[in-house]
Structure 1
Amino acid sequence: MKKWVLAATACVLAISAAAVAQRERMSAECRQELIQLCRGAEGGFGQCLRTALPKLSNPCRKAMSDRAMARQERPDGMVEIAYGSDPKQRLDLMVPGGTTKAPILFFVHGGGWSIGDKVAGEKTKAPWATGQGWAFASANYRLVPQASVEQQAADLANALAWLRANAAARGLDPDRIVLMGHSAGAHLVALLGTDTHYLKDAGVPLSAVKGVVLLDGAGYDVPSQSSAEMNIVKPMYEAAFSNDPKRQAALSPTRHAGAPNVANWLILPIQSRADSQAQSCGLADALRKAGASAVVAVVPGESHGSLNKGLGEEGDFATGEVERFLVSLR
């Protein structure tokens, strides 16, 4: 039994890169919660751990997320800015040198709408973006269950409004913005780009957003994904969207894809996820019918996490696709 518990603890640590690096252990309460949740689970303990996050108590889920972010590095030149009064309403900003009007690449992290932090991936993405001549902004937003998905979308629209209002002082072009999100972040930026009342309420004109990049999202049509038999994170969807079909539809980018929408879209599902590809193609088809340009480029050889982590690396497939997309919008 002792060996089994140690193995389980090792798996828990594997979820968090920071915890592995520090060789720290989760709290006794969180370890016990994971063991109780996953003991005897179908598919084994390792499979359970990969899908356990939405089922954990809020303190344990937050602790795991905080550990994962603890050793993430900010690149030199990144500054943190408050765009609202809540501690989560913060964004990081890095602006390329030698320009007084840089276009803005606005990144939104994932985490199942309930965890995550803006610092994830900044070390690679921010220098890459500024090297392409784009200012890089990465935004936090309030999280489920303390906030609703509707409030999350409003937070992000308000972050965009702050950037536009302070564009001149920060060396930004307020009317050349590209939204990019990973996982739940992909859902949120897709929602901003289709259900445009969030931008309107924040005073952000739709014309200021030139494009949207989606990194392996699978929740563009929430009712179909939430009810899918193979949706292994169904509890996460229930926590974010409830079981109300009307609310699920109201928070589905695909259901809002009738014009007007952001005009240009690049959608990057990974090859190994049939649900992500199906959701991506469904959204792209709806966008094209409404007159937008929407390209789906399936990314080979990547996992859900490695796609996001590798973005900005030289020779990376997805990075090349994004670079070409950004050039087309300049």
Structure 2
Amino acid sequence: MSLTVSDMHTRAKYLISGIGPGSSSGVGRLMQFLVPEYISNGFVVLNPSPQKSLRTYLSSKQYIQLSYELVIRFFDYILFVFRCLAVFRRDILLLHPQTIGYPLFIYLVLFNNPTVYLMDNSFFCIRSYNYHPIRKTECLDCLQSFKPDSSCFPFPNRTPRWLNIAYLQIFKLLSFRIHFQAQTKLQAELVCTHFGKSSSVSVVGLPYVEEIFRQPPPQYLVGQTESFDIVFHGASTGPKGFFYAIELAEYLPNIKFLIPDHASNVRHLTNSEPPPNVSCIPMTWETGLKNYVASAKLVLHPSLWSAPIEGALIKSSALNPNIATVISSYGYESEISTIVNHIRLSRDVFTASRQLSAYFS
């Protein structure tokens, strides 16, 4: 089931998100899909304006443009806040509380009839992605009660730890007022475990999944001279399994891996050269990754958190029948049924390497 106007039973009159359409993030892509539908049905959509990358300005030393962008962001967010404060006793659908800002989010929950669509697990994890930075595994330490490891810090906003925890405690206290929309059955189970069995929650999926499966197969790209044994399809971050993939490649020297990122960034993240069997080619889905995923012997999606529906996993399974994920307790990888040949790898990288050795033998 997709998140549509009918799923809201026409209750929502406002769609409010801390990230607008056009962003490359998952929230941005979702908003790109939802906004036209909701506006056409008479809903008011509130979100900050699209933002330019600060990293681009920093890397090119464009400090004046950087300062200008920061000023624009500040006043744009102030305008967003004032527009939200005018929403009172209305039916509202909220996306991404972290970027809405928790004080504003709490106000909207207190004085309106709120539905919250869950993009991640920020309702119990200050990191949003419940990945333990030391154990490097799916983490449920803060489910029911907040006791984050000293190595955990709020993401994506740089809120002080104690303040973010305080916001989440208030969020929990107010949860009886909220109807939650989860992407998967297991995410709904997390909601009930954290907020209580009486929580109001429905499973609505991810709206643009059907669109992914209607995409035409990729055409061979000029410049694509080879295919790879394993293509890593994910961001170069711990929760997405980037370090897991690199370590896996070290255990499998005769297997050719593709990492869709700059070699310089891989070196920066790992403090070492990529293994010789790893090719680092920067690309996006649109600029070549789609083709490499389709031609790979195996596509690797080693998310190490309780990931709900991930667009990357859906896109890969639509083009390639051979997908490997890492076993999780609450991730969508344990629910998905569209993968023809689904290899669920051990959380232990060495054991996973033995599984893949057997697969390629």
Do both share a fold (TM > 0.5)? Answer: no
Q: Which of the two has greater helix per residue?
A: 1
Please, what TM-score do these two structures have when normalized by structure 1?
A: 0.36
